[in-house]
Amino acid sequence: MSDPATLPTVEDAIALGLTESEYELICEHQGGRPNRVELAMYSLLWSEHCAYKHSKKLLRSLPTEGEHVVMGPGENAGAVDVGGGLVCAFKVESHNHPSAVEPFQGAATGVGGILRDIFAIGARPIAVLDSLRFGDPASSRSRYLLDRAVAGIGHYGNSIGVPTVGGEVYFEGPYEQNCLVNAMALGIAEREKLVRSAAAGIGNVVVLFGARTGRDGIGGASVLASAELGDDDGMRPTVQVGDPFEEKKLMECSLELLERGLIVSLQDLGAAGLTSSASEMASKGEVGIDIDVSKVFLREADMEPFEIMVSESQERMLCVVEPSNVPAVMERCEKWEVGGAAIGTVTDTGRMRVFDGEAIVGEAPVSALVDDCPLYDLAPERPAAPVYPVPAPVLAGDVSMREMLLALLRSPNIASRRPLFERYDAIVQSRTIRRPEQADAAVLAIKPLVGRPAYEISPSELKGSRDPDGPIPASAVSIDCNGRRVAADPYTGTVAAVLECASNLACAGAKPLGTTNNLNFGNPEKPHIAWQLSEAVRGLGDACRALDAPIVGGNVSLYNEGASAGPIYPTPVIGMVGRLPDARRAGRLGFAREGDAIALVGPFAPRLDASELAKLWGRQLPDGLPQIDVEAVAAAQAAVRDAVRASEVSSAHDIAEGGLAVALAECCLTGGLGARIELDDDIEYLFGECSGGFLASGERQALESLSEQTTVRMIGVVEGRSLSIGDQIEVELPELTEAYEALVELFA
């Protein structure tokens, strides 16, 4: 078929990110040397990004089953049952390296990609959250990356009509050269109408629809996402460009095709484009697929077959259609002004065959492409010396506690995120019951709110139903990870991140149903990174088992280190979805009523090690964190959750970065009310950090009764226009506000 002299060599394979032994294995599977199309397909599907070569074995230890799980890992997104015949689909994904190279498009297409994962299983996206990490905001590069990444997320989410309801951002030195941009999306679907991606039905037609295919993003998965970052600018052509308008049409078109029952299976095109989507559909269906690249609508006329197969052009979907339904599918595409073309067929060959018109230009066994990539064992080794540099001190050790509180409120990791979240539409779709800064978790009505019951809107998942007096079921969602604590202790830090999400849900009144995660780590071939990764996965599994919040999906992003800068903090970003029975009783974080008693709830044993204050002081990370009593934290979460659901408390807030004093200030600022706190404890008690502490306000008796379930300490009362803590601290609200608004300057 091909002249051996023109076949790519082992050097070409290595340039595409494969190893020599992987190339040899490919030759074995192919019964000879692969041609250019075949090698391109292997190089992508056998990349770290697609094949999870260094993490797959570890991930098998995670809990993935539970009574609420409807769809687990392996599909485009996971899904949990939220009652009433509906499921919530959700997943988090990273777009770290593209965002480091071109932050606006990198972040925008990260949102676009995760939204496609949601509607690919037939769910209407109802919310986006983001998890961002940058270097010190004193650096202009960090500020540039942050500003453009936030602009990109907003550009995509706002334009497509999906609210961005929450998120988190941390600024730490180790992210300076390698920022993290993770995006999470949620969707709602009728359980009966979920669609899977497995291709089925020999002779069925494979239809590619959406945007045209161009040269953008070629090699993104293999070269950009699966290696350490080098020279930024040269990589820019591997970053894709997003068009939210195209995706909005694609989303409405996809949901309408599913609503009308016109398609057999559906898959989005993401990393590795057509190659990955078609191979995975074929693999899951245990069939073969023939693709004719000459039928693909192109943006540029002279594209090579291998370019068409690996292009990462955005806003495209692949579906399998029964031949009789093809005209109806094309008609829907026309209605939504979305390009659609029948480009292939489902076969019984078990092979991916690529045609250019009549001529076959490449073929490979589906199983070899998808399942036979070699998996590697990690060689974990606990580092003997500290991995991360000591942060520069920005606060003297001998300042007053009052100064410590104000310095913490000004700290970029704690200051109000208002300048960021104000750039996102948080309310479109009429479901957002708690927007950012109103509660620890975002709360979304599962069905859109309507004034009177039983209005039918097509498509059916938009059907609103609301008994004016009946409960309004809602979902709550949180995303979190304090990478500094994971760096100090990968196992305990990851347990803490999972507990933090569950605590956030508890404060909103929600119980966890399922978890997603994005494991952002450095180069796993290095023993100390391998150790961080395996310890974090062990912590993730243990915590999710303890909370009965199984992992329903996720993503792994490795090689997050610059050549000179060293690895990022290990950052297993956790996204958690829960349910609350009635949105009208969703919790709030701010103090709500003058005269309310304030209680410190839960097993609160804070430590300054690895805290935000220790960072401001420029202290070295500790080697290990105290073990967490997960059962005791879960009991406190249950107590808070029950009290919120019963409307027995006016406010509930989880104590996190900056400790008790900062949490009190946040309750005051959000509620616009002061507090008088009778505590004469030390710096560690007021500013130390740990899992399992909550602040609740309300009737004294109701708060005291929480002691049946967990530890309760009555500490003060909501009162006046200033926050006072013992004799040590007294600050008027306006001064707290001024400190808390420190991030505004970054955007001036």
Partner 1 sequence: MKFGVLRFPGSCDDVDALLAARRVGDAELLWHGERDLKGADAIVVPGGFSYGDYLRAGSIARFSPVMESVIAFAGDGGLVLGICNGFQVLCEAKLLPGALLPNSNLRFTFRQVELEVVQEQTAFTCACGLDGPSPVVLSIPAKHSWGRYYADEQTLADMEGRGQVLLRYAPGHNFNGSSNDIAGVSNERGNVFGLMPHPEHAVDELTGSKDGLCIFASMCLAVEAARV
Residues 510 and 441 sit within 8 Å (Cβ to Cβ): yes
The SS3 of residue 652 is strand
Least distance in angstroms from the C-beta of 145 to partner 1: 17
Residue 94 CA to residue 107 CA, distance in Å, equals: 9
Residue closer to partner 1 by CB (options 15, 428) is: 428
Distance in angstroms (rounded) separating the CA atoms of residues 580 and 472: 9
Q: Per the structure block, which two tokens stand in for 498?
A: 């999972």
Q: Which residue lies nearer to partner 1 by CB, 463 or 619?
A: 463
CB of 39 to partner 1, least distance (A): 37
Of the two residues 201 and 464, which places its CB atom closer to partner 1 in the complex? Answer: 464
Q: Which is nearer to partner 1, 455 or 594 (CB)?
A: 455
- Residue closer to partner 1 (CB basis): 55 or 164: 164
Give 249 or 484: the residue with its C-beta nearer to partner 1. 249
Residues 6+ away with beta carbon under 8 Å from 22: 13, 46, 373, 374
Q: Is 463 exposed, middle or buried (0-12, 13-18, 19+ CB in 10 A)?
A: middle
- DSSP sequence for 160-187: HT--EEEEEEEE-GGGSSS-EEEEEEEE
Q: Which is nearer to partner 1, 234 or 451 (CB)?
A: 451
DSSP 241-290: ---HHHHHHHHHHHHHHHHTT--SEEEE--TTHHHHHHHHHHHHHT-EEE
Residue 593 Cβ, how far from partner 1 at the closest point, in Å?
17
What is the enclosing helix (H) or strand (E) of 708? none
Q: Which is nearer to partner 1, 71 or 433 (CB)?
A: 433
**Closest separation between CB of residue 549 and partner 1, Å?**
26
How buried is residue 29: exposed, middle or buried, by Cβ count under 10 Å (0-12/13-18/19+)? middle
Catalytic residues: 49, 95
- Both tokens of 72, joined, read 């687990």
- Residues 6 or more apart in contact with residue 251 via CB below 8 angstroms: 115, 116, 119, 124, 125, 160
Phi first, then psi: give them for residue 676, nearest 5 degrees.
-115, 115
Distance between CA atoms of residues 221 and 240, nearest Å: 11
Please state, in angstroms and rounded to a whole number, the distance separating the CA atoms of residues 413 and 390. 17
Residues that bind partner 1 (CB under 8 A): 151, 154-155, 158-161, 243-246, 248-249, 252, 336-337, 421-433, 435, 445, 448-452, 455, 457, 462, 464, 472, 583-584, 747
Q: Measured from the CB of residue 424, what is the shortest distance to partner 1 in angstroms?
A: 6
Q: Which is nearer to partner 1, 339 or 464 (CB)?
A: 464
- Closest separation between CB of residue 132 and partner 1, Å? 17
Considering only CA atoms, which of 622, 629, 639 is closest in space to residue 690?
A: 629
In a 3-state reduction of DSSP, which class is residue 474? strand
Question: 159 or 647, CB closer to partner 1?
Answer: 159
C-beta of residue 568 within 8 angstroms of C-beta of residue 178: yes
Q: Which residues of 408-428 are buried (b: 16+ CB within 10 A; e: fewer)?
A: bbbbbbbbbeebbbebbbbeb
Chain mean position to CA 433: 21
Count of residues for the chain? 748
The nearest distance, CB 345 to partner 1, in angstroms, is 31
Relative to beta strand 442-445, strand 432-434 is antiparallel
**Residue 620 C-beta: closest distance to partner 1, Å:** 39
* Count of other CB atoms within 10 angstroms of residue 65: 10
For 113, the 3-state DSSP assignment is: helix
**Strands 566-567 and 561-562: what pairing?**
antiparallel
Q: Name which of 60 and 452 has its Cβ closer to partner 1.
A: 452
Tell me how far apart the alpha carbons of residues 93 and 159 are, in angstroms, rounded to a whole number.
20
Q: How far is the CB of 144 from partner 1 (least distance, A)?
A: 15
Q: Return the number of the residue (315 or 719) whose C-beta is nearest partner 1.
A: 315
Nearest to 496 by CA among 302, 692, 716: 692
Burial class (CB in 10 A: 0-12, 13-18, 19+), 45: buried
Task: Estimate the crossing angle of helix 20-30 against helix 36-45, to 10 degrees.
Answer: 120
Given strand 571-580, what is the order of strands in its sheet?
432-434, 442-445, 474-480, 571-580, 511-520, 551-557
To partner 1, the closest distance from the beta carbon of 151 in angstroms equals 8
Which of 655, 671, 630 minimizes the C-alpha distance to 715?
655
Residue 136 Cβ vs partner 1, minimum distance, rounded to whole Å: 23
Positive or negative torsion for Cα 443, 447, 448, 454: negative
- Min dist CB 76 to partner 1, Å, is 23
Asked if residue 324 lies in contact with residue 237, where contact means CB atoms within 8 angstroms, the answer is no
